[in-house]
Amino acid sequence: MTGDDNKQKVRVLNALTDSCTSELAQLRWLVTDQHGSPLPAPFLVTLVLWLVVIFLCAVSVASAILLILELDRPFEGPLRISDLPLREAIAEMSRP
């Protein structure tokens, strides 16, 4: 065997390897397309519903915390009550 024969065999083997790799990749995509989505639809629906429920619970908890903090200071912030009745009651009690 000469060096030219070895080089020719290596070229042939490389061409065969490239061909096999290409066919294997095509078959892989064909099998993937035939099976459709790897995740079943009921699983995806359940997952989305759970995420919506978790999000809504988080919003509910955050709203409750905000309301508690706002009601802790009734005369300040966006939710405030008038202090006029309290001032009038104090003035009325301080009269003799």
Residues 48 and 89 in one domain: yes
Structure pTM? 0.47
What would the pLDDT profile of 69-92 be if each residue is shown by its tens digit?
A: 888 888 887 777 888 988 999 999
Distance in angstroms (rounded) separating the CA atoms of residues 53 and 69: 24
Residues 1 and 31 in one domain: yes
Domain span at residue 81 reads: 39-96
Residues 59 and 72 in one domain: yes
Residues 31 and 45 in one domain: no
Q: Say how far residue 38 (Cα) sits from the centre of its chain.
A: 19
Environment class of 87 (CB within 10 Å of its CB; exposed 0-12, middle 13-18, buried 19+): exposed
pLDDT band at 50 (very low <50, low <70, confident <90, very high): very high
Residues 59 and 93 in one domain: yes
pLDDT band at 1 (very low <50, low <70, confident <90, very high): low
In the predicted structure, residue 12 carries a pLDDT above the cut 80: yes
